[in-house]
Amino acid sequence: MIQLLFRGGYTMIPIILCSVISLAVIIERGFSLREKKIIPRWIADWLDGSGPEITGLPEEITDNSGALAGVLKVGYENRGLSLKKNYEILQIAEKQVAGRLERGLVLLEIVAVISPLLGLLGTVIGMVLVFDVIS
């Protein structure tokens, strides 16, 4: 296995580095985007009607309660405003939460673009070396 890496040339090192980076991002996002971190169980029960009736702002809603809890908190805190203004505030809160949920995905996109190009570069370098030996 190690011999294949050495035979692959210098482009194997960045390709392996890209693989490690992408695996780290995938694992981190997998843990961060678990369903219970985005929509806590008590909110899911409340939304589908199987949970208890909530009349005020529950103590469970904090900044660390999950993505949906934060948006609900903003909506509850601004419930006295007009419907249009509350809608705009909720859209801003949703965009902030979406930005936190998408963190790290740009890095994964970059690695997904660079890795095949590194493989192609390695292939071209290998072909140049082969034709150099032949001539």
Q: What is the average per-residue pLDDT within 2-14?
A: 82
CA distance 42 to 60: 9
CA gyration radius for the chain?
25
Q: What is the pLDDT of residues 30-81, one digit of tens each?
A: 887 776 677 777 677 767 776 666 666 666 666 556 777 778 788 878 878 8
Give the pLDDT confidence score for residue 38 in this predicted structure. Answer: 73
Per the model's pLDDT, the better-predicted residue between 26 and 10 turns out to be: 26
The residue-averaged pLDDT of 104-126 equals 92
Retrieve residue 119's tokens. 């493989």
Q: What is the pLDDT of residue 54?
A: 63
Question: What's the angle, vertex CA 22, arms to CA 24 and CA 11, rounded to 5?
Answer: 125
According to DSSP, residue 78 is labeled T
DSSP 65: S
Q: What is the model's pLDDT at position 64?
A: 56
Average pLDDT, the chain: 82
Distances (CA, A) of 102 to 15, 51, 85: 24, 29, 26
Whether the pTM exceeds 0.85: the reply is no
pLDDT of residue 52: 63
- Phi, psi at 12, each rounded to 5°: -70, -35
Domain map (residue ranges) of the chain: 11-134
Decide if pLDDT at 99 tops 80. Answer: yes
Res 63: pLDDT? 55
